[in-house]
Amino acid sequence: MGFKKDFLWGGATAANQLEGGAHEGNRGPANVDFMPLGKDRYLVGTGKMKMYDFDDQHFYPALTAVDFYHHYKEDIALFGEMGFKTYRLSIAWTRIFPNGDEKKPNEEGLKFYENIFKECHKYSIEPLVTINHFDCPMYLIKKIGGWRSREMIHYFYKLCMTLFNRYKGLVKYWITFNEINMILHFPFVAAGISFEENENETQVMITAVHHQLIASAMATRLAHEIDSNNQIGCMLAAGSYYPETCKPEDYWKAICDNREIYMFADVQARGYYHNYALKWIEERNAKIDFREGDKELLKENTVDFVSFSYYSSRVSSSDLSKGNQSESNIFASARNPYLKESEWGWAIDPLGFRSTINELYDRYQKPLFVVENGLGAKDIIEKDGSIHDEYRIDYLRQHIQAMKDAVEKDGVDLMGYTTWGCIDLISNGTGEVKKRYGFIYVDRDNLGNGTYKRIKKDSFYWYKKVIETNGINL
Ligand code: BG6
């Protein structure tokens, strides 16, 4: 028993948090480039503050990130050394279509990813590609308002057509959109949306996500048509809500909060908006702009697998006025007194991981893929250059054990596991680099200073063993 023989162990990254080289290779500007470090980041990300141009008062960490653009060979060799079976990465849309609406793709961008995929195959690493991990061409945001516009489906489809044709035989695992539910919490990042004064924000987000869901279904159909080996996944930011107490109101609140997590993945995995979602939308005076053929398209093109991120569980309270809020991945949660938290205030809950995995499997009955999990922590380099990140090993060990229990004891069908930020990168939430997730340290500080040298942490050697023994040796 244990993990399948071909279990896909690996790590995950996203273009904007990793690559840098923002002005190289004819790449065009994207929303994520304009996400500054510091307190305004949250305002920009939530669409409350428009940041459509660079200014001198802010530092923009994605422009250089950790310079994978120039280090990819070295980095993939390190992934190979750890024995990765898969590497999850995302495509920067504006490397392929710099403005988003060009007739022809940018060959330099296509070549860049082709080289990466070939490099992966050198080490028998199967690429797992997120087509859209929080990026949207800035030109399309300025011109048509990003995913507010149905026209985006056309541009996204063209991107998918280009990728599926060009990388046929090189890539077979695809994820259409990263964390589809994140649009409700970080709409500028998830869909290029900044709000105008007094507009119905829910309506804007529902319109945008409907466009993404249609685009996702069209991409799924296309991927299957172009290559029957292609496997397509949806992706959600998971981490179940517990009721704060057994007070019925708290339990009901947890049900409602959990439904907000599942609402859009439901459409991708089951092929329709559930009644509760339609009611949720109606209650907020919004509606879905269904066009002819939309419902059939969604129904007929559900995903092959369900992928998700898990960092922590959450807590629902019917009374948040008590001020018992905790930090967690962008969206709010009450504090859980039974759990320890990371340095960034994210609750650490391996059993919550097992529960979340089980809930997802109960709900969808499709193969699952854990594509993000990990601990963001500060690391210290010792005098001899070593980095002893026992805290990270502890977190991962406990979470892999929980995942193993879900497979062995609960019978969940799990395809693989990619830890988040297998090499240090820019934090999506805060823009920092000192919030490190990697097995590989990158010598760069929050303001971009450093040699960008790569250093193996203790967790590097530990994870290599885990993979070597297919999760037996934790
Ligand atoms: C997920 C995202 O929400 O969480 C990643 O898909 C992100 O892009 C990760 O980096 C961890 O969050 P943070 O804020 O610690 O970077």
DSSP conformation letters of 329-377:
SSS-EE--TTS-B-TTS-B--HHHHHHHHHHHHHHH-S-EEEEE----B
Question: What pLDDT score was predicted for residue 324?
Answer: 65
Residue 321's pLDDT is: 66
Task: Give the number of other CB atoms < 10 A from CB of residue 382.
Answer: 8
Residue 37 is predicted with a pLDDT of: 98
Query: For position 172, what pLDDT does the model report?
Result: 98
Quick count: other Cβ atoms within 10 Å of Cβ 434? 15
How many angstroms does the Cα of residue 289 sit away from the middle of ligand 1? 30
- Per-10-residue mean pLDDT, the chain, length 474: 94 98 98 97 97 97 98 98 98 98 98 98 98 98 98 98 98 98 98 97 98 98 98 98 96 96 98 98 98 98 98 90 66 89 96 98 98 98 97 98 98 98 98 98 98 98 98 96
Which residue has the least CA distance to atom 14 on ligand 1? 429
Q: Name the 3-class secondary structure at 30.
A: strand
Whether the model pTM is above 0.75:
yes
C-beta 178 within 6 A of ligand 1: yes
pLDDT value at position 328?
Answer: 66
- Identify which of 90, 311, 329 to mutate to test ligand 1's pocket (most ligand atoms within 8 A of the CB): 329
Q: Active-site residues: which are they? A: 179, 372
Single-letter amino acid, residue 431 = G
Confidence (pLDDT) at 412 = 98
Alpha-carbon 167 to chain mean position: 21
If you measure from the C-alpha of residue 329 to the centroid of ligand 1, how many angstroms do you get, rounded to a whole number? Answer: 7
Q: Which atom of ligand 1 is nearest to the CA of 426?
A: 16
Tell me, using a 6 A CB cutoff, whether residue 427 lines ligand 1.
Answer: yes
Residue 130: per-residue pLDDT: 99
From the CA of 428, how far away is ligand 1's center (Å)? 5
* Span from the CA of 426 to the centroid of ligand 1 (angstroms): 9
Separation in Å, CA 432 to CA 65, 118, 163, 170, 198:
10, 31, 31, 33, 32
Confirm or reject: Cβ of 309 under 6 Å from ligand 1: yes
pLDDT at 358: 98
- Strands annotated E in 145-272: 173-177, 231-237, 241-243
Q: Give the count of beta carbons closer than 10 Å to the beta carbon of residue 338.
A: 9
Closest-lying ligand 1 atom to the alpha carbon of residue 427:
16
Q: Is the CB of 179 under 6 A from ligand 1?
A: yes
Q: What is the pLDDT of residue 293?
A: 98
pLDDT digits (tens, 9 = 90+) for 149-171: 999 999 999 999 999 999 999 99
Nearest-angstrom CA–CA distance, 288 and 278 = 8
Angle of helix 107-122 relative to helix 68-82, nearest 10 degrees, comes to 20
Residue 323 pLDDT: 60
Q: Is the CB of 373 under 6 A from ligand 1?
A: no
Which class for 205: exposed (0-12), middle (13-18), buried (19 or more C-beta within 10 A)? buried
Rounded to the nearest angstrom, the distance between the alpha carbon of 237 and the centre of ligand 1 is 9
How many angstroms is it from 54 CA to the middle of ligand 1?
Answer: 23
Ligand 1, atom 8, residue with closest C-alpha: 428
200 CA from centroid of ligand 1 (Å) = 27
For 261, residues 6+ apart whose C-beta sits below 8 A from its C-beta are: 181, 236, 237, 238, 239, 240, 241
438 lines ligand 1 (CB under 6 A): no
Ligand 1: which of 309, 346, 423, 426 to mutate, judged by most atoms within 8 Å of the beta carbon? Answer: 309
Question: What atom in ligand 1 is closest to the CA of residue 374?
Answer: 11
